[in-house]
Amino acid sequence: MLDCYDVMEVVLEYTNFKDLWSLAQTDKALQLMIRRFFRTRVDRQIAMFLKPKSPPVEQLETLLYKFWERITLSHSAVHGSLLLYMERCVRAAKPWVPGNLNIAVPFGAVRPWIRYFSDESAGTLKYREVEVDSFVLWHIASRWELEIIPGKFIIITETRGPCVAEAVIVSPHTANMQLLTRDFLIMYYPQKAFDESALDSWHYPTIPASQDLDRRGVRKSIDNSSWVTQCGWACPILWRRVSKDRGTLIFRVGDDTAVLDRTITCSHLKWRLGDTCYNSECKNYATHYYPYIPGYFSALGAELRSTLRDQ
Ligand SMILES: [Zn+2]
């Protein structure tokens, strides 16, 4: 016989993330239920990567416990298509599953992860070339991958500094600009995620990557000229900061007493999506700034930043 949670779980499976988040704001009991539902959904997907051949339940619980413990101890976070999957309605019209388990780790934290996967008999992570792109190279120190079954990879991205958000701000579009720790989901462009849409960043996605987004039901645009409402915090010319940024949504999915990891709240990190706003509804419409070249803006310093109109 179904209990209340079982019934609610079925309802939640038909609910998109925007509505889940809204529901979580209305009532504490509902919020706890949504957290539990979200965690179960995440763990189910992560288990597919840790042990693709369905081990016994007790073994799976231990595996997941160790995985999240490693995430916390190494100040790392999950990102990539798995989070996109989490934000969609499970019963969506076009079903798909995440192709990779992406993990962002701070500089110097790769070795413990290599040991972890080796100890778990998953295999050995292999070095993978980082894209030759100055913006990416500025933020990413190395990439490592492990093919667990044909076509499915665990990918570790090591950032150049202590802040794991560096791994996602280099994404070619906003749909991947989010992180998941054991206790928090952090979304840098929540409104775009809620609308199941995405805006291209500095280096456009490849054609296969764009097709992937389309297949996953995310509407992507190369600029914001077609937007019909104000940009808000998704305005491409706005400098965004990881620390204390009002445009970021932080959704607690774990322990009530947990605090955000220091590798998420690094105060030094800032980025923006482009140098021109093409949205005629936005007060920054047609404002144009110099192209963003890593290091260039820090040299110009406060002068350019002071010209930025905050919204
Ligand atoms: Zn704008």
Name the residue among 132, 141, 194 with its Cα closest to residue 167. Answer: 141
- Cα of 186 from ligand 1 centre, angstroms: 22
Q: Tens-of-pLDDT digits for all 311 residues of the chain?
A: 667 777 777 777 788 888 888 888 898 888 998 898 889 889 988 998 988 777 777 788 899 999 999 999 999 999 998 888 888 766 566 678 888 999 999 999 999 999 999 888 778 899 988 776 777 888 899 999 999 988 899 999 999 999 999 999 989 899 999 999 999 999 999 999 998 899 998 777 788 888 888 888 888 899 999 999 999 999 999 989 887 778 999 999 988 898 888 778 777 788 889 888 999 999 988 777 665 554 444 433 333 333 333 32
The model's pTM is 0.87
Name the residue among 64, 68, 96, 67 with its Cα closest to residue 81. Answer: 96
User: Is the CB of residue 20 less than 8 Å from the CB of residue 9?
Assistant: no
- Beta strand 152-159 pairing with 100-105: parallel
Handedness of CA 83, 86, 89, 95 (dihedral sign): positive
- Cα of 286 from ligand 1 centre, angstroms: 8
Q: List the chain domain ranges.
A: 4-222+242-268
- Cα of 278 from ligand 1 centre, angstroms: 7
pLDDT at residue number 93: 63
- Cα of 251 from ligand 1 centre, angstroms: 25
- Cα of 169 from ligand 1 centre, angstroms: 18
